[in-house]
């Protein structure tokens, strides 16, 4: 019905327009001019005045927006380099806004002033070296200033700042669609990581010969036990895949009765797992000395908000699990892409605490207004009202899939005393399992509840479907734990030959 109405409206509109145009044509024929070719002086004047009116509307609109939204909502920068950036931005605006208004005004005013007059002839003014020299040199001079100031700031941010003031190291690990942080702990050095060790829940015999259960190694941190855990995961997947293939094989027919695609997919997975295992054996195992493994022991994992110390530089190391993400801290004026296969870095110094920032009168006024709008919307949706407090936010700023629009973390900047208190009181093991390997007494830690309270709700339903289809193997895995533990010992030589065959 709706589409019918739309169709009728469109047809009626087109018909009406045809009639109007015809009417217009008939009347101009009666007047006897080449109506579509010659612009009458009336029309020309209307258009000329139109430019003047447009100029006022356009400038008024722009200035009005500046007045109402110029504040932008982010408030002053909350970092040392951000202040410099804001200053630079303001300098640039002071240069480009006059250019914008003056050149646009000249364009519109000349259009108005030199509108057609049949008694006048345009001046035959085809070039002037002097004028052209002026407007080559003048922009060049202004641009020289802009380039110089810009590069000075850029060099400060990218080259000088990271070298100063003993920065705290934090890893931000991005994946579809959440952030995980890793604090470098007491030694301020992050343990090595390798994507090949990234694994889900696993049960395995650890390096001390004890049966251990972990909830996963989602950041791929390198340690002996994680290598063993990964072997266990790979082997259980291999066993599962082989069983599935066996089940699909008919001894009598001498062939698979599942479709070719099914068999090939399984075989390809087996090949991939064997390659991975070979690479771990040849690439990681040999490097497992204490200096690498030790660094990661005190690392702390956070799948929740991040705490930072005010006036203490922080160096972020960004990694990505799957696609390119971008860590965008709008209040800190900091941004860096997270690229799979690379570790990118950005160093900044937050110089105001969340509390101080929130108590700024401008910010308070803005948030009062924001709360009104926010709750108006919630009310209209029939949802319960809530209070939005000011917070520094980290968000994703590079298209990364279905829930790209909701990949966020709060960042809390506080004094050192407050930070210490948080650090002491926070039970990392319970809330967000922390220690990757052994606790202080050398006992294996059972990583229950990794990310239990965190991000699953954020994952968009659309992608859940995709993810679930891939998770089947790992979920079946606990049932085969004993067999897996055995297979590490027994199948190793067999595995090696398979791998060698695959690789060569």
Partner 1 sequence: MAGGHDHAHDHAHAHHHKESFITKYIFSQDHKMIAKQYLITAIVMGIIGIGLSALFRLKLGWPDTQFPILETLLGSDAAPNGELQSNWYLGLVTMHGTIMVFFVLTGGLSGTFSNLLIPLQIGARDMASGLLNMISYWMFFLSSVIMVISLFIETGPASAGWTIYPPLSALEELQPGSGLGMTLWLVSMTIFIASSLIGGINYIVTILNLRTKGMKMTRLPLTVWTFFVTAVLGLISFPVLVSAVVLLLMDRGMDTSFYLSEITTSSGQLAQTGGSPILYEHLFWFLGHPEVYIVLLPALGISSEVIATNARKPIFGYRAMIGSVLAIGFLSFIVWAHHMFVTGMSPFLGSVFTFTTLLIAIPSAVKVFNYITTLWRGNIKFTPAMMFCIGMVSTFITGGVTGIILADSALDISKHDTYFVIGHFHVVMGMSAILAMFAGVYHWFPKMYGKMMNKKLGYAHFWLTIISGYGVFIPMHFTGEGGLPRRYYTNTEFPMFDHMLDLNELISVFALIGVLGQLLFFFNFFYSAFRGPRSTQNPWKSTTLEWTTPVDHIHGNWPGALPEVHRWPYDYSKPGWDEDFVPQDVPLKEGEEEH
- In whole angstroms, the minimum distance from the beta carbon of 196 to partner 1 comes to 6
Strands (E) in 197-353, as ranges, are 202-205, 211-214, 249-250, 255-256, 300-302, 306-309, 314-320, 325-329, 334-338, 344-348
Q: Are 407 and 180 in contact (CB under 8 A)?
A: no
DSSP string, 116-135: --TT---------HHHHHHH
Contact between 292 and partner 1 per CB under 8 A = no
Contact between 273 and partner 1 per CB under 8 A = yes
Query: Residue 183 forms beta bridges with which residues?
Result: 170, 300
Consecutive H or E run containing 183? strand 178-183
Contact between 384 and partner 1 per CB under 8 A = no
Helix, strand, or coil here: 471? Answer: helix
Contact between 67 and partner 1 per CB under 8 A = no
- In whole angstroms, the minimum distance from the beta carbon of 330 to partner 1 comes to 3
Contact between 243 and partner 1 per CB under 8 A = no
Name the DSSP class of 217.
B
Rounded Cα–Cα distance for residues 366 and 385 (Å)? 18
Rounded Cα–Cα distance for residues 461 and 467 (Å)? 10
Contact between 500 and partner 1 per CB under 8 A = no
Q: Are 185 and 168 in contact (CB under 8 A)?
A: no
| Listed ranges 130-138, 290-298, 449-457, 488-496: which one lies at the site for partner 1 (CB under 8 A) | 130-138
Contact between 322 and partner 1 per CB under 8 A = yes
Contact between 441 and partner 1 per CB under 8 A = no
Contact between 275 and partner 1 per CB under 8 A = yes
Contact between 398 and partner 1 per CB under 8 A = yes
Contact between 344 and partner 1 per CB under 8 A = yes
- In whole angstroms, the minimum distance from the beta carbon of 61 to partner 1 comes to 7
Instruction: Find the binder of partner 1 among 176, 178, 236, 487 (CB under 8 A).
Output: 176
Taking the CA of residue 431 as centre, how many other CA atoms within 13 Å lie in the half-sphere pointing to its CB?
12
Rounded Cα–Cα distance for residues 371 and 392 (Å)? 16
Residue whose CB is less far from partner 1, 188 or 397: 397
Instruction: Find the binder of partner 1 among 83, 150, 224, 292 (CB under 8 A).
Output: 150
Strands (E) in 342-487, as ranges, are 344-348, 392-396, 408-414
Which residues 6+ apart lie within 8 Å of 202 measured at CB?
213, 214, 216, 229, 230, 232, 233, 236, 477
Contact between 23 and partner 1 per CB under 8 A = no
- In whole angstroms, the minimum distance from the beta carbon of 426 to partner 1 comes to 25
Per CB under 8 A, which of residues 37..56 are in contact with partner 1?
37, 39, 43-44, 47-48, 50-51, 54
Contact between 73 and partner 1 per CB under 8 A = yes
Other Cβ atoms closer than 10 A to 494? 10
The encoded tokens of residue 429 equal 């093991």
Does the CA dihedral 21-27-30-34 come out positive or negative? negative
Per CB under 8 A, which of residues 460..479 are in contact with partner 1?
460, 462, 466-467, 469-471
Contact between 283 and partner 1 per CB under 8 A = no
Q: Are 320 and 175 in contact (CB under 8 A)?
A: yes
Contact between 418 and partner 1 per CB under 8 A = no
Length of the chain: 504
Contact between 154 and partner 1 per CB under 8 A = yes
Residue whose CB is less far from partner 1, 139 or 259: 139
Residue whose CB is less far from partner 1, 267 or 462: 462
Kindly report the backbone phi and psi dihedral angles of residue 174, in degrees, each rounded to the nearest multiple of 5, phi listed first.
-105, 140
Contact between 122 and partner 1 per CB under 8 A = yes
Contact between 435 and partner 1 per CB under 8 A = no
- In whole angstroms, the minimum distance from the beta carbon of 39 to partner 1 comes to 5
Q: Are 235 and 315 in contact (CB under 8 A)?
A: no
- In whole angstroms, the minimum distance from the beta carbon of 59 to partner 1 comes to 11
Residue whose CB is less far from partner 1, 186 or 383: 383
DSSP string, 370-384: HHHHHHHHHHHHTPP
Contact between 281 and partner 1 per CB under 8 A = no
- In whole angstroms, the minimum distance from the beta carbon of 138 to partner 1 comes to 8
What pairing do the DSSP bridges indicate for beta strands 211-214 and 249-250? unpaired
Per CB under 8 A, which of residues 196..225 are in contact with partner 1?
196, 198, 220
Contact between 252 and partner 1 per CB under 8 A = no
Contact between 179 and partner 1 per CB under 8 A = no
- In whole angstroms, the minimum distance from the beta carbon of 169 to partner 1 comes to 17
Residue whose CB is less far from partner 1, 150 or 294: 150
């Amino acid at each position: 019905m709706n589409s019918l109405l739309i169709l009728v409206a469109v047809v009626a509109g087109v018909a009406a327009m045809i009639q109007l145009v015809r009417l217009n044509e008939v009347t101009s024929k009666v007047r006897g001019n080449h109506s579509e070719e010659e612009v009458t002086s009336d029309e020309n004047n209307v258009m000329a005045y139109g430019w003047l009116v447009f100029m006022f509307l356009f400038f008024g609109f722009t200035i009005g927006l500046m007045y109402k939204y110029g504040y932008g909502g982010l408030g002053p920068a909350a970092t040392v380099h951000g202040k410099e950036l804001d200053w630079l931005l303001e300098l640039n605006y002071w240069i480009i806004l006059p250019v914008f208004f003056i050149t646009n005004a000249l364009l519109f005013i000349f259009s108005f002033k030199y509108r057609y007059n049949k008694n006048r002839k345009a001046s035959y003014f085809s070039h002037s070296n002097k004028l052209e020299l002026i407007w080559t040199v003048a922009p060049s001079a202004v641009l020289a200033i802009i380039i110089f100031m810009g590069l000075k700031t850029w060099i400060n941010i990218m080259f000088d700042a990271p070298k100063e003031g003993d920065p705290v190291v934090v890893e931000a690990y991005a994946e579809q669609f959440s952030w995980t942080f890793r604090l470098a702990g007491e030694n301020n050095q992050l343990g090595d990581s390798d994507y090949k060790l990234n694994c889900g829940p696993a049960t395995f015999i650890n390096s001390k010969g004890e049966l251990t259960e972990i909830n996963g190694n989602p950041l791929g941190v390198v340690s002996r036990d994680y290598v063993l855990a990964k072997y266990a995961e790979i082997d259980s997947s291999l066993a599962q895949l082989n069983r599935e293939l066996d089940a699909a094989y008919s001894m009598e027919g001498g062939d698979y009765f599942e479709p070719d695609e099914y068999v090939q997919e399984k075989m390809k997975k087996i090949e991939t797992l064997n390659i991975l295992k070979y690479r771990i054996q040849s690439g990681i195992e040999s490097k497992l000395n204490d200096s690498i493994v030790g660094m990661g022991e005190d690392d702390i994992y956070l799948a929740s908000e991040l705490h930072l110390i005010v006036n203490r530089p922080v160096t972020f190391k960004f990694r990505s699990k799957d696609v390119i993400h971008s860590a965008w801290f709008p209040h800190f004026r900091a941004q860096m892409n997270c690229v799979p296969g690379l570790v990118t870095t950005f160093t900044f110094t937050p110089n105001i605490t969340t509390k101080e920032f929130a108590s700024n009168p401008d910010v308070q006024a803005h948030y009062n207004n924001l709360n009104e709008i926010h709750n108006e919307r919630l009310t209209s949706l029939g949802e319960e009202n809530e209070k939005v407090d000011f917070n520094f936010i980290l968000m994703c700023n590079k298209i990364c899939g279905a829930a790209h629009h909701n990949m966020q973390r709060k960042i809390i900047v506080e004094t050192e005393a407050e930070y210490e208190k948080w650090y002491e009181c926070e039970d990392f093991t319970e809330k967000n399992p922390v220690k990757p390997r052994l606790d202080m007494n050398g006992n294996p830690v059972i990583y229950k509840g990794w990310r239990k309270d965190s991000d699953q709700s954020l994952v968009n339903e659309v992608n859940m479907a995709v993810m679930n289809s891939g998770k089947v193997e790992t979920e079946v895995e606990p049932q085969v734990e004993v067999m897996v533990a055995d297979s590490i010992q027994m199948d190793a030589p067999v595995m090696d030959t398979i791998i060698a065959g695959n690789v060569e």
